[in-house]
Structure 1
Amino acid sequence: MAIRVDGVSKVYNLYGNPRDRLKQFVYPRVRKALGAAPRAYYREFWALRDISFEVEQGEAVGIVGRNGSGKSTLLQIITGTLAPTAGSVSVNGRVAGLLELGAGFNPEFSGRENVFMSGALLGLSRREIEEKFDDVAAFADIGEHLDQPTKTYSSGMLVRLAFAVHVQLKPDILIVDEALAVGDALFQKRCFSKIASLRDQGVTLLFVSHDQETVRTLTNRALLLREGRAVTFGPSADVIFAYRRQLHEEEVQAFTSGFGRQRAPSAAVDPVDPNDALNNSGVDTVDPPDPRNEVTRQFGTYDVEVRKVEVLGEGGEAKPVYYPGDRQEIRITLVANKKIKNLNVFIRIRNKEGVKIYSWGTMNQDQWLRSSGAQEPLFWERQFEAGEEFSVKIHHDCPLGPNLYEVQAGVAQEKDLEYGEQKILHWVDEAAFFTMAIKRLEYFFGGINDLRATAECV
């Protein structure tokens, strides 16, 4: 077992003002001496409550949750930089924790000096660090700045050096928080490639990120935190789905308070009919959560419902297997359960490894029509009546590599044509599947996408 977290809780005492902190230091002692019951001049904030989970050696585990859910606090407790109020943590192996920019660096030391100091803290001898120093310097790629004090570094340079130290010195357990988000795109690519390589070499990974697809593809299990409590711990795909459902519930609340029923009509529109399901913004009101969300791989308000998702060939026939270059139609059949408009019907395609290959919806087409000046009516402007059934057909080529692919489908109500604010009406995971095959003796390529390359001799 690499990491065992058992009943960990962390509480902070929050004071309204500095005087209350002084009162808490003095008055309880005085009251106790006088035989009176003590009084607290603070309120408790529980950053974590009774968190328990285990990480096997060589396993990759993600931690997800909204800001303030307790992710960073939990990582600090696991790395030993913060003591829990209750519970215990046991860690087996050398731990490298990349929790925040420049964590563990002395700002007065040069980058070179900090590399040796960090290596020593990881338990390496000076000789071992010297043997790995060139690899660290090459990965960090900060040039002559390596011999300058780290207090002169930019945030990107700090994370470059910190990450290089932690991954090149080969820890047993690597713990990574959101620090990588400040790096440029190329460096992030190198970081994630290195993390995947370390994971394949048996390094245990504990990874925190708001990027759901990265967590899904980089880890095999995940923990979802909400307001300091563990919501679920299990396969990453299931946990990410639970996280999306949680975000949906919070978006519905924000939708109601933001531009739903509470918004007053402007002078440019007619007063809202209380018997009409649509308000003046064209956005529907919110119903209580549907119990179907709790038992299936779907969620939403079900104001509009996805009834069927079909993957069809170019002629409209059911077709489970495709070859690169084939045309494909994904047909989504829906029903409006109330009068509604401002809809966006969309799909997402993922391979069996969980990598998102493509996402697209009717609003993407509406955006193009509006920007190009086309006179075609926008799907977003169409109004549907209660009980009305309709279908959306999405046509595209299939330049994909051989694999099994999952189709996710959904429908959302959009405030505008800018993807600025939305309400998920119905989202369905594993709505349909299809297989891509390849005729190896006729046309072959490697990878997940066919770039239609050609070659010539010059």
Structure 2
Amino acid sequence: MVLQMSSNQANPNTYMGSVVASNDVVIQVNDLHKCYQSYPKPIHRLWQSFMPKRRFYQEFWALKGIDLTVHKGETVGIVGKNGSGKSTLLQVIAGILQPTKGSFTTKGRISALLELGAGFNPEFTGMENARLNASIMGLTREEFHDKLPDIVEFCGLGDFLHRPVKTYSSGMYVRLAFAVAINMNPDILIVDEALAVGDVRFQRQCFRRIEQLKEQGVSILFVTHSTESVIKYCDRAIMLDDGELKLTGSPKEVVQAYLELMFGSEKDTDALVKVDVENYKVEFDPSIDNCPKQASYNSGEHRWGDSRAKICYYEIFQNGAASNGLMQRGDQLVIRMWSLFEQDVDNLIYGITVKTNDGNAIYGTNSRALEVETPAQRAGDLVVVEFRLKLNLLAGDYFISLGVAQDHDVKDNIAIDRRYDLIHVHIRETLDAFGIADLEGDLSITLED
């Protein structure tokens, strides 16, 4: 689980002669390609060695022309579907794999948490593996013993440190691996979905330590399927798909593109029906987007989906009265959402999510989770859905996303019309509490006799 490399600051790790141009750059990847050769049968490998001019294998390009620059102290999140090349890229940067083509440079000491169990000898005890990894990293015996109390305290394995790691659970592997990696004074920390198998408390402990490492100027490459973690902890993000770097940008921008990639529709949308809207008994035109007319509308929303239905209007009510988005803690919020269908759609899901200003979801639900029956809709149907929430939130700005999707056996759901951060509401400040959620706390003081 923990693989580390050590290098002198003045002599960075290089492959194919790549040179770091700036002292601020700790990882430089240029036109990186990685190809695997897949042989139908083992005997074909032997034939290939005797007949090199013939090809007995099929090529699989895991990476195709990746360019990436990471600066000192920067945390970069990497997202993508399974098989997109994320783990291969990290293994190349960590020095475990060599690229087929291209160059990469790393500068400083690298600690890498990769697949479960990597870098550990299963016959060795946890303590012996920790000592071995420290030696590989170039730490002296005295330096290791100075670090040992921190490793023991962080991993919390107790007597299990003196047992073979082959007896460890996956969570215990992660605890030891992370404790060793972060206490080796790394300049670069690479984490490949390693924390996904840890328990919730340990994950929180790890993320607190990651924040400390960021403050110390450690550069971090972070692969995860947790989009909220990317938004919260990363300075920048990249998205890989089919071995190619598809997008680099702000975490929120990349996460939105990743969600579109994961939940986008493959259905034919050319057959959308032109709807006659003259007979609808509403005070707005359902054929156009009326949401920007509302005072609470957020022009910075992100909208996507296959458009078989479109959210054409919404209204918000505060304690029964129309609202402009300025609210009080504890208010009863009602949101009405109108959707116009341009194709016949069944297995519908209507959903809502409330997020903080920095993009962390604090509440979300949908018709599927609430087991609310949703009838199939035909082209031309105008449907209104009402969401009811109690705003047990403290002072601050919050953004509400609305969506229409279709249940799907493989993709979980297919986005029809998702409008992220569509509505902006502000909760007025109060002085009796701080944070995000109102837990209606109280206290009392009693003098014991």
TM-score range, shorter chain: 0.7 to 0.9
TM-score, normalised to structure 2, is 0.82
Task: Note the 1:25-40 alignment, pairs <5 A.
Answer: 25-28=49-52, 38-40=53-55
Aligned residue for 1:222, secondary structure, equals strand
- Tell me whether 17-26 or 333-342 shows the greater mean CA deviation: 333-342
Spell out, residue by residue over 1:27-53, the C-alpha distance to the aligned partner (whole angstroms, 9 max, x if none): 23xxxxxxxxx2211111101000001
Distance 1:137 1:153 in 2: 15
One of 429, 434, 439 as aligned partner of 2:420:
429
Counterparts of residues 34-433 of structure 1 (less than 5 Å): 38-249=53-264, 252-253=265-266, 297-367=302-372, 378=373, 380-381=374-375, 383-414=376-407, 421-433=412-424
**Is 1:454 equivalent to 2:442 in the alignment?**
yes
- 1:331 aligned partner, one-letter code: R
The whole-number CA distance in structure 2 between the counterparts of 1:420 and 1:177 is: 23
Whether contact under 8 Å (2:396, 2:429) holds in the other structure is no
TM-score by length of 1: 0.81
Say yes or no: does 1:24 pair with 2:48: yes
Aligned CA distance change for structure 1 residues 421 and 101 (closer, same or farther; 3 Å): closer
Partner AA of 1:135 in structure 2: D
**Cα deviation digits, residues 413-434 of structure 1 (max 9, x gap):** 2369xx9943221111221211
SS in 2 for 1:306: strand
Q: Determine if contact 1:337/1:387 at 8 Å carries over to the other structure.
A: yes
Looking at structure 2, the residues matched to 420 and 5 of structure 1 have their Cα atoms a distance apart, in angstroms, of 33
8 A contact 1:58–1:199 mirrored in 2 = yes
Aligned partner letter, 1:344: I
Structure 1, residues 137-174: CA drift from partner, whole Å, max 9, x if none?
Answer: 01111111111222332222111101001112331111
Q: Which residue of 1 aligns with 2:430?
A: 439
Alpha-carbon deviation of 1:384? 3.3
Change (3 A) 1:122 1:338: same
Distance 1:48 1:415, change over 3 A: closer
Deviations 1:196-247 (A, max 9, x none): 2222332211100111111121112111111111110111111111111111
SS state of the match for residue 371, structure 2? helix
Q: Is the 8 A contact 1:150 1:158 kept in 2?
A: yes
Aligned pair count?
392
Provide Cα deviations, 1:69-89, integer angstroms capped at 9, x if missing partner. Answer: 111110000011111111111
**Structure 2, unaligned stretches of length 5 or more?**
1-24, 274-299
CA contact (8 A) 2:235 2:250 kept: yes
> What is the Cα deviation at residue 407 of structure 1?
1.5
1: CA distance, partners of 2:370 / 2:88: 43
For residue 310 of structure 1, report the CA deviation from its aligned partner.
Answer: 4.1
Q: Secondary structure at the match of 1:448?
A: coil
Instruction: Give the whole-Å Cα distance in 2 for the aligned partners of 1:212 and 1:398.
Output: 24
Tell me the residue number matched to 2:33. 9
Match of residue 375 from structure 1: none
AA aligned to 2:310 is: E
Matched residue, 2:10: none
CA distance in 1 between partners of 2:321 and 2:428 (Å): 20
Shift in CA distance, 14/316, structure 1 to aligned 2, threshold 3 Å: same
**Structure 1 CA distance for aligned equivalents of residues 163 and 219 of structure 2:** 33
In structure 1, runs of 5+ residues without a counterpart are: 29-37, 257-274, 276-294, 368-377
Amino acid in structure 2 at the alignment position of 1:391:
V
Q: Which amino acid aligns with 1:11?
A: C
Following superposition, the deviation at residue 451 of structure 1 comes to 0.6
Partner residue in 1 for 2:279: none
Letter in 1 for 2:56: Y
CA–CA separation in structure 2 for the residues paired with 1:173 and 1:420: 35
Instruction: Name whichever of 199-208 and 41-50 sits farther off.
Output: 199-208
In structure 1, C-alpha distance between the alignment counterparts of 2:444 and 2:232, rounded to whole Å? 37
Q: Distance in 1 between matches of 2:435 and 2:135?
A: 41
What is the Cα-based RMSD across aligned positions, in Å? 2.3
Is the 1:101–1:159 contact (alpha carbons within 8 Å) kept by the matching residues of 2? yes
- Structure 2 CA distance, aligned partners of 1:420 and 1:17? 33
User: What secondary structure sits across from 1:384 in the alignment?
Assistant: coil
- CA gap 1:130/1:457 in 2 versus in 1, 3 angstroms: same
- Match of 1:429, as an amino acid? Y
Is the 8 Å Cα contact of residues 20 and 42 (structure 1) preserved in structure 2? Answer: yes
Q: Distance in 2 between matches of 1:188 and 1:204?
A: 19
Give the whole-Å Cα distance in 1 for the aligned partners of 2:234 and 2:314: 29
Q: Secondary structure at the match of 1:433?
A: strand
Summarize the Cα distance change of 1:415–1:172 in structure 2 as closer, same or farther, 3 Å threshold. closer
Using the aligned pairs only, state the percent identity. 38
Q: Is the 8 A contact 2:126 2:176 kept in 1?
A: yes
Aligned to 2:293: none
Question: Which residue identity does 1:221 align to in structure 2?
Answer: R
| Mapped partners of 2:380, 2:396: distance in 1 | 38
The offset of 1:447, in angstroms, is 1.7
Distance 2:50 2:30 in 1: 35
Task: Determine if contact 2:301/2:422 at 8 Å carries over to the other structure.
Answer: no
For residue 186 of structure 2, give the secondary structure of its aligned residue in structure 1: coil
* Amino acid corresponding to residue 440 of structure 2 in structure 1: R
